[in-house]
Structure 1
Amino acid sequence: MSRDIDVLVLGGAGVDTIVYVPELPLPYADSYMIDSGIRTRAGQTGDFVVLGLAALGLRVHHLDLLGDDPEGDLVRALHREKGIALTAIPQPAGTKRAVNLVGPDGRRLSLYDTSRGHADDRLPEATVRALAEASRHVHVAITPPCAEALPLLRESGATLSTDLHDWDGENPYHEPFAHAADVVFLSAAALADPERTMRRIADRGRAEVVVATAGAKGAYVLADDELTHVPAATPPALVVDSNGAGDAFAAAFLYAWLNRETPARSAQYGTIAGAHACTIPATDTTAIRLDELLRLTATP
């Protein structure tokens, strides 16, 4: 079978409105003056993963539901500008959108508009099957309606990854993703015991690798029943925004893993890409390029 796509990214296409606020949590006030401006741009989790993978030279394709609306036009324009293949299935409810409040230290608070979708939304089975069978690997966002596509993806023979983001380890919505993927990413931010959650994912699902990112503490990698800590990389410039850091980590990890690096070495790639992303304002969609990533991973 010919697999002309290195990575198919399923879901996670949308638009964010970025607001830089004086502090988080934001105290109540009648109004705030935002001197840095308020900007709406294309780019949610799936968009940032596919941008990161493309910047590293992988052949990528993005599949999701998009509305016939200004937000959808922004997503389409971003993919055209970056030369990334996009299959957009019409979404009558509109394109996914969110508002991200970003504090001075780069932390963010995201407000997701859940009205841009319906419980019975589905991606066309024939489209999912054809693209998955043409792909070496599929990265699945946890946005609706990707869970319903997981059985088809498993049948395709492609390896799967997913990012559970700030899962608390209990919410049942995330479990189908956690148990279907070969590589599982998640944030340690909401976990009382990250190792316990990571081992539960590995025990109950099919994951070969589970990776918990921990911000300035680096990342923890569970592979072959062994937990390894990978230190955080030093950001190459001032940290301004954590938006997209996890997506950058996942893209760089997958680049290395698909090129047969070890899980721990792949996580090192991820920490470097994630640190780079923290120095890029959320209003920008610039991903680390392969030459820079390889230079930094080669530096002792």
Structure 2
Amino acid sequence: MDTIVRVGALPVPSADSHAVPPVREWAGHTGTGVALGCAALGLTTGFVDFLGDDPPGALVRERLAGSGVDFRPLISPHGTRRAVNLVSPDGRRMSFYDARDPLDLRMPPEHYLPLLRRTRHVHLSISHFARYLFDDIEALGVPVSTDLHDWDGLTEHHRAFAFRSDLVFLSTAGAGERIGQIMREIIREGRAKAVIATAGAGGAYLLTPEDRTPRLVPAAVPPTPVVDSNGAGDAFTCGFLYGRLSGHELEECARLGAVAGAHACTAAGTHTALARPDDLLASASPPPPPPPVPAVEAQVSSTGA
């Protein structure tokens, strides 16, 4: 659950109190955003997570109801995770996340394995319990992506996610000028086929094992004025995954991600402006033709994202 506080400027000047516009609450969390965004793009989407039996949890359930997301939460006695996000007039934000989940929280395999066995891609948020799903994901041979957010390249918590994922997203915010070095380390030490670093209005950077330096992907122009950047990174991930699962080249996937991310900035709140396929396809290049079907035998399967 995200509590959105609109402030006059970031950083907020020191004062005993500030008058602000009405404080709003929205269903937040990066996992929620990626699930909603992928479903809005027409991808068959399942979502597993922990949720509290509390008023914030009820709001999350309400937001996901009717969204097309197959949401299968487990009740956590520790309650629903919360965040307070300060948003400036130009749409920039500063987030404060609580850390209520204990380190020994685990998701039982019987809850997620049936879904893993019929999926073609998994996206893991960096919640602590999610790191214990990697072994099962790898055993099934399912590609996995993750978002490290503002990782500085040093915090130990993020390393398993960085080095065990096939697609790695992160923000340049935590690394500054070291972002290229961190991207190269992820490629060198891990299994990533691509690392994508988002830089807000500065665009994004794409690095593959074949690249010597990251490639710049320009930011997309939002269709309407920027209001709120909450959820823009999650939307970028959704656009990229949509392109990847549709057969586009990596650079085109990043461009689709930029379009989806820009679209997310055009409405107040978190995960409120979700890109649709037409929003992306209006700016997309056609995907490559499919490989020829073998003449002797062809197998057809239907899988989700």
TM-score past 0.5 threshold: yes
**Helix, strand or coil: the match of 2:82?**
strand
Residue of structure 1 in register with 2:251 after alignment: 264
Whole-angstrom CA distance in 2 between matches of 1:281 and 1:296:
24
Q: How does 1:281-296 map to 2 (within 5 A)?
A: 281-282=268-269, 285-296=272-283
Q: Can you list the C-alpha shifts for 1:180-211, whole angstroms capped at 9, x where unaligned?
A: 11000011112132221111101111101111
Whole-angstrom CA distance in 1 between matches of 2:114 and 2:164:
19
- Structure (1 or 2) with the greater strand fraction: 1
Whole-angstrom CA distance in 2 between matches of 1:264 and 1:210:
11
Identical aligned residues as a percent? 47
**Helix, strand or coil: the match of 1:189?**
helix
Whole-angstrom CA distance in 2 between matches of 1:211 and 1:83:
27
**How far did 1:127 drift?**
1.9
Of the candidates 34, 40, 53, which is equivalent to residue 20 of structure 2? 34
- Is the Cα contact below 8 Å between 2:263 and 2:273 reproduced in 1? no
Q: Can you list the C-alpha shifts for 1:229-252, whole angstroms capped at 9, x where unaligned?
A: 111111111111111110000000
Whole-angstrom CA distance in 2 between matches of 1:237 and 1:133:
41
Counterpart code for 2:45: V
Residue of structure 1 in register with 2:115 after alignment: 131
Counterpart code for 2:65: R
Structure 1 pair 155–255 and aligned structure 2 pair: CA distance change class (3 A): same
Of the candidates 192, 196, 204, which is equivalent to residue 219 of structure 1? 204
Runs of 4 or more off by more than 3 Å in structure 1? none
Of the candidates 182, 189, 193, which is equivalent to residue 178 of structure 2? 193
- Answer with 1 or 2: which has the greater Rg: 2
Matched, 1:174 2:158: yes
Residue of structure 1 in register with 2:223 after alignment: 236
**How far did 1:263 drift?**
0.7
Counterpart code for 1:17: T
**How far did 1:16 drift?**
0.5
TM-score when normalising by structure 1: 0.91
Structure 1 pair 90–248 and aligned structure 2 pair: CA distance change class (3 A): same
**How far did 1:77 drift?**
1.1
Q: Which moved more, 1:277-286 or 1:222-231?
A: 277-286
- Is the Cα contact below 8 Å between 1:128 and 1:152 reproduced in 2? no
- Is the Cα contact below 8 Å between 1:22 and 1:103 reproduced in 2? yes
**How far did 1:268 drift?**
0.4
Q: Which moved more, 1:215-224 or 1:197-206?
A: 215-224
Of the candidates 235, 253, 278, which is equivalent to residue 240 of structure 2? 253
* Structure 1: runs of 5 or more not aligned: 1-14
Q: Which moved more, 1:181-190 or 1:191-200?
A: 191-200
Q: Can you list the C-alpha shifts for 1:118-175, whole angstroms capped at 9, x where unaligned?
A: 1110011122222111110000000231111111121122110000000001111000
Whole-angstrom CA distance in 2 between matches of 1:242 and 1:99:
14
Counterpart code for 2:244: W
Counterpart code for 1:129: L
Matched, 1:163 2:150: no
Q: Can you list the C-alpha shifts for 1:245-264, whole angstroms capped at 9, x where unaligned?
A: 10000000000011111110
Whole-angstrom CA distance in 2 between matches of 1:16 and 1:251:
20
Whole-angstrom CA distance in 1 between matches of 2:271 and 2:233:
16
